[in-house]
Structure 1
Amino acid sequence: MPSVTAVHGDITAQQVDAIVNAANRRMRGGGGVDGAIHRAGGPAILADCIARFPSGLATGDAGWTTAGDLPAAWVIHTVGPNHAAGERDRALLESCYRRALEVADELDVASIAFPLISAGVYAWPLDDAIAAAIETIARTSTRVEHVRLVSFSEPTHRRVQAQVIRSFPPPTEPGSIGRLFDEEPPVWGLRGDPYLWRALRAQFAGTPLPSDRRELQRTITSAAEAIAGAPVADRDDAIYVAEFNPGHGMSAGHISASWWNSTGFPLLIDRFEGSRESTG
């Protein structure tokens, strides 16, 4: 399984072997990501599209062209289903990711950057577009080593990142704050709390443990509040975090400040003290 990371930025600027273009069936350029890739890559991409795909490309299929002036070596074009026009078969959307990875293997690609296919003007519901991308990448056998899911907008990136961290947690280094989060607590507060826990684990995966518990408490609390977008310490209400809402459940997206103050933070402090005793 490849490593998967969420990236906030411009897909045309990604330093990878191949970038994926959310194309249309005509394969002659268009708007959104398609237009941006053709503009940044120059006329060589369109010329190759015309030569290689004289009849266009079917929905759910993928094929490659040169990347022209882009930093990547290849553009892998795939045609997503147009949800706004009534194309609602999720299997077609999943096929886009699977076929793109198959083409990447044909090209011996090690790193690839995807946009969220069909989530723009084709209006596929955002949360399901994210889920389809992550689920399909996770279950597709591929030799690709590194996958980036690139979002141009910050709110979309935050939603993608929350789901990527859940499905593809990064390894934590010995002696890091992240190691304190490796074993999840036996009881959660609300449905958003596991998302915040995993987000903090990822953020601190390589951060060395501080020298004392007070610094650890400040560091973790500050990071939790930055992710939640609201104060967490010394309160007992629920805080809604949009990117932690996968679209189901009454408490979806909510974190429990009281759980963090009574259970989450104290558990991490106890583990910190235990790690100091074991190495002291």
Structure 2
Amino acid sequence: MVTVTAVHGDITEQRVDAVVNAANRQMRGGGGVDGAIHRAGGRAILDDCIARFPRGLSTGDAGWTTAGALPATWVIHTVGPNHAGGERDRTLLESCYRRSLEVADELGAESLAFPLISAGIYAWPLNDAIDAAVDTVHRTPSRVEEVRLVSFTAETHRRVHAQVLRRFPPPTEPDTIGRLFDRSPSQWGLRGDPYLWRALRAELATTPLPPNSWELQDTIHAAATGILGTPLTSADEPIHVSEFDPGHGMSAGAILPSWWKHTGIRILIDRYEATATEEGDPAAREP
């Protein structure tokens, strides 16, 4: 199964088998990610583009060249739709990810780094660009083992990370706090609460279970503060978190502190105490 991670960084520095370039139809270099990849990889990439794509490449299609001086082996070039220029068929954007994965399979690439295609100068709406990337990678069968979704800015990275956790939650280790989050509650407070739940699960996936429930609460609250940028216990009113807001309604991105106080944390404590009982020493973790 493919492992998908959100990465905050420079796509030209990714040590993977192949990096994906958001190219234009002429395939002769350009601005944004395209220009950065050509500059970092050197003339060899352009020479290969001229040789392999004398007539350019169609929107939604993908093809490969050498990676030149990049730390990757190949560059997979794909042409995203220009939303600002009137190309607004989402299937073309989805095709960029699907065709890139198909080309990666043809090359035998096991690791692949994508930029957020069409979300730069082509002005595809950011939330939909992220959704198209994450959902298409999720739906596309591939032999690629590792996919990185690379964002240059911290704000975009946080949004991508939230959506990656939605579709590709990381595994949790036994006897960790993260394991307590494996089963989602049947009811939520507001629409941002499932995002915080998944973010906490990922943050605490390898954190050992503490000796008592008081320390469990303190650890969860500290992790939530790091994710939200504000203490979960500092307000009774909903807390809006922009990266948890995919733009799907009035409560999108909103965290309800009272739900965590009366329901979410209580569920986790109950699971923690049940785990202690199953291990045969219920008193060992009493507060």
The TM-score by the shorter chain falls in which range?
over 0.9
Q: Which residue of 1 aligns with 2:154?
A: 154
Deviation for aligned residue 1:235:
3.2
CA deviation profile, 1:86-121 (whole Å, cap 9, x unmatched): 100111101100100010000001000000000000
Q: Name the aligned partner's letter for residue 99 of structure 1.
A: R
1:208 partner letter:
P
1:177 and 2:142 aligned = no
Q: Give the direction of change, closer, same or farther, for the CA distance of 1:159–1:217 in structure 2 (3 Å limit).
A: same
1:277 matched residue in structure 2: 277
Q: Per the alignment, in what secondary structure is the counterpart of residue 196 of structure 1?
A: helix
Displacement of 1:211 in angstroms is 1.8
SS at match of 1:142: coil
Contact 1:119–1:125 under 8 Å retained in 2: yes
> In structure 2, how many angstroms separate the alpha carbons of the residues matched to 1:248 and 1:127?
10
Q: For 1:163-188, what per-residue CA distance to the aligned partner results, in whole angstroms no more than 9, with x for missing partners? A: 00011111111101111101111221
Find runs of 4+ consecutive structure 1 residues off by over 3 angstroms: none
C-alpha distance in 1 between matches for 2:269 and 2:70: 48
Q: CA RMSD in A?
A: 0.9
Query: Is the 1:234–1:261 Cα contact (8 Å) retained in structure 2?
Result: no
Out of 96-105 and 227-236, give the one that drifted further: 227-236
* Structure 1 partner of 2:205: 205
TM-score norm. by structure 1 comes to 0.98
CA shift, 1:213, in A, is 1.7
- What amino acid maps onto 1:111 in structure 2? S
Amino acid aligned to 1:278: E
TM-fit CA distance, 1:7 = 0.5
Question: Does 2:140 match 1:140?
Answer: yes
CA separation of 1:45 and 1:129: change in aligned 2, threshold 3 A: same
Aligned-residue identity in percent: 71
TM-score using structure 2 length: 0.96
Map 1:87-126; keep pairs closer than 5 Å.
87-126=87-126
CA–CA separation in structure 1 for the residues paired with 2:271 and 2:154: 34
Q: Is it true that 1:259 corresponds to 2:259 in the alignment?
A: yes
Is the 1:32–1:120 contact (alpha carbons within 8 Å) kept by the matching residues of 2?
Answer: yes
- SS in structure 2 of the partner of residue 247 of structure 1: coil
CA distances 1:19-48 after superposition (whole Å, capped 9, x unpaired): 000000111111100011011111110111
Structure 2 unaligned segments of length 5 or more: list them: 282-287
> How far, CA to CA, are the matches of 2:176 and 2:275 in structure 1?
11
Letter in 2 for 1:69: A
1:8 maps to amino acid: H
CA contact (8 A) 1:29 1:46 kept: yes
Structure 2: which amino acid aligns with 1:122? Answer: Y
Checking the alignment, whether the CA contact within 8 Å between 1:63 and 1:103 is kept in structure 2 is yes
SS of the residue corresponding to residue 150 of structure 1 reads strand
Aligned residue runs from structure 1 range 225-240, under 5 A: 225-233=225-233, 235-240=235-240
Question: Distance between the aligned counterparts of 1:126 and 1:107, measured in 2?
Answer: 30
Q: Which residue of structure 2 aligns with residue 80 of structure 1?
A: 80
CA distance in 2, matches of 1:192, 1:146: 28
Letter in 2 for 1:9: G
Deviates further, 231-240 or 111-120 = 231-240
Moved more, 112-121 or 227-236: 227-236
Once the two structures are superposed, residues 199-257 of structure 1 have per-residue CA deviations (whole angstroms, 9 ceiling, x without a partner) of: 11111112211222222111110111221122211532100001111111121110001
State the alpha-carbon separation in 1 of the partners of residues 135 and 186 from structure 2. 26
- Which amino acid is 1:181 matched to? F
Q: Is the 8 A contact 1:21 1:77 kept in 2?
A: yes
User: What are the within-5 Å matches in structure 2 for residues 50-65 of structure 1?
Assistant: 50-65=50-65
What amino acid is the match of 2:139?
R
Structure 2 Cα separation of the partners of residues 94 and 267 of structure 1 = 38
- Cα distance in structure 1, aligned partners of 2:36 and 2:158: 22
CA distance in 2 between counterparts of 1:133 and 1:261 reads 34
Instruction: Determine the structure 1 residue equivalent to 2:37.
Output: 37
Partners of 2:191 and 2:38 lie apart in 1 by 42
